[in-house]
Amino acid sequence: MASNSFGLFFRYSTWGESHGPGIGVLVDGCPPGLPLHEDLLNAALARRAPGQNPFTSPRAEKDEARILSGVFEGKSSGAPISILIENRDAASSSYAPLADLLRPGHANFTYLAKYGCFDYCGGGRASARETAARVAAGVVARQLVASLCGAVVAAWLEAVGTARAALQADAGRAAAFAGQSPLFAPDAEAERLFQQELTQAVQEGDSVGGVARFNISGAPVGLGDPVYEKLSARLGYAMLSIPGCKGFELGEGFAAAAGRGSNLNDPFILRDGRPACSSNHAGGTLGGISNGEPIYGRAAFKPTSSIGLEQSTLDLRGQEAVLRLPPGSRHDPCTAVRAVPVVEAMCWLVLADALLMRRALGEAPCS
């Protein structure tokens, strides 16, 4: 199985399965001298961990990271950084009744067709459990970005099912509220609406999708390369690689298709003696290269595939069957909730890679 790595200059590779002994990540390309310790990793992992409220999987994983290499006396050494996160609450036996069924919405059909085998315990490599390793790598990326520029990344949940938060003009305020919200909601009213939507889905044995919004402020002008390494393209690649992500947009996104150039072009003005844009419909990039304005966008996540309702399917012999989740099955009613810290991590990882690319190619210093 190839393609377990992301990034060109700041590169990470994740490994492990949902119900194996553990998962982990190897980060390569990190310069020496960056402050890094397990408390930083564990604080970030705690935001994504399951079992913290009634609207996430009750799987009790504390997600405590162990740094195995690449750090000396509290700072990165320049060597590859290896991080281990042990799986301590896997319940693999509960998946035995599902071993011979093609699970609707899951990857076992395509994995079987491609590889001839599939770890049906929790989805194996296809499980969203893998994203904990991404969050750990994102902490390393965040430390690198902080050493090179003043960029700030924030993400929050904008929609759950049909419940949608009001548009937030102040990203900092939205992020601050989301940091204290168990549902990463940007305000109290949105949190109430999200809880109602999730409660109804749980009561009906069903699931809902959601939308996460991200905002990057303070990114310098000039990140991203034409044509295939556009910053916008790398962000899209990063978000669509997250399990369950079905859509990505930058700036006005799909809504721009219904607009006109006279309304959506961002006029240039002088701000503090430098060219800047008076509006930001483009979402912080021009030609795929950062223009100094906030970089914002959204990632859409499908409803969780594992639901309490019976579903018709086929078994591995091609016979008609009915899929019923075993009693005590543990699944999120909305994967978009815990995807918010993952979206944030992927932003840091894209930024770190773009900054190192800029430095490696000898381009002008960050402005």
CATH (domain of 110): 3.60.150.10
Q: Is the model's pLDDT at 290 over the cut of 60?
A: yes
**Confidence band (pLDDT; 50, 70, 90) for 45?**
very high
Mean pLDDT (the chain, rounded): 92
Mean pLDDT for 116-127 is 80
Report the C-alpha gap between 216 and 97 in whole angstroms.
45
Q: Give the rounded percent of residues in the chain with a pLDDT score beyond 90.
A: 80
H/E element holding 163?
Answer: strand 163-164
In a domain, 73, yes or no: yes
pLDDT at 332: 87
361 or 32, greater pLDDT: 32
Per-residue pLDDT tens for 317-340? 999 999 998 876 778 899 999 999
Identity of the residue numbered 211? V
Tokens 């003043």 locate to 150
Report the C-alpha gap between 360 and 305 in whole angstroms.
42
Q: At what angle do helices 335-360 and 38-48 cross, to 10 degrees?
A: 140
Identity of the residue numbered 315? D
pLDDT at 60: 61
In a domain, 367, yes or no: no
Residue 288 belongs to what domain range?
Answer: 5-360
Tokens 């290499």 locate to 69
Per-residue pLDDT tens for 221-262? 999 999 999 999 999 999 999 999 999 999 999 999 999 999
Mean pLDDT for 161-165 is 97
Mean pLDDT for 87-110 is 82
Q: Is the model's pLDDT at 92 over the cut of 90?
A: no
In a domain, 366, yes or no: no
Q: Is the model's pLDDT at 367 over the cut of 70?
A: no
Report the C-alpha gap between 212 and 163 in whole angstroms.
13
50 or 114, greater pLDDT: 114
Per-residue pLDDT tens for 50-76? 767 777 766 666 789 999 999 999 999
Mean pLDDT for 66-90 is 94
Mean pLDDT for 98-103 is 90
Residue 262 backbone class (left: φ over 0; alpha: ψ -120 to 50; beta: rest): alpha
Number of domains in the chain: 1
Report the C-alpha gap between 211 and 76 in whole angstroms.
35
In a domain, 146, yes or no: yes
Q: Bridge partners of 271?
A: 274
Say if residues 158 and 165 touch (Cβ distance below 8 Å): yes
In a domain, 365, yes or no: no
3-class SS letters over the chain: CCCCEECCCCEEEEEECCCCCEEEEEEECCCCCCECCHHHHHHHHHHHCCCCCCCCCCCCCCCCEEEEECEECCEECCCCEEEEEECCCCCHHHHHHHCCECCCCCCHHHHHHHHCCCCCCCCHHHCHHHHHHHHHHHHHHHHHHHHHCCCEEEEEEEEECCEECCCCCCHHHHHHHHHHCCCCCCCHHHHHHHHHHHHHHHHCCCCCCEEEEEEEECCCCCCCECCCECHHHHHHHHHHCCCCEEEEEECCHHHHHHCCHHHHCCCEEEECCEEEECCCCCCCEECCEECCCCEEEEEEECCCCCCCCCEEEEECCCCEEEECCCCCCCCCCCHHHHHHHHHHHHHHHHHHHHHHHHHHCCCCCCC
pLDDT at 53: 72
Mark 252-285 as b/e (b = at least 16 C-beta within 10 Å). Answer: beeebeeeeeeebebeeeeeeeeebbeebbbbbb
Give which of 168, 257, 258, 164 is closest to 214, Cα–Cα.
Answer: 168
Least confident among 74-78, 119-123, 168-172, 346-350: 119-123
pLDDT at 301: 98
**CA dist 287 → 3, 27, 211 (Å):** 27, 29, 25
The token duo for 274 is 């430098």
Q: Is the model's pLDDT at 5 over the cut of 60?
A: yes
Report the C-alpha gap between 154 and 343 in whole angstroms.
9
Tokens 């991203």 locate to 224
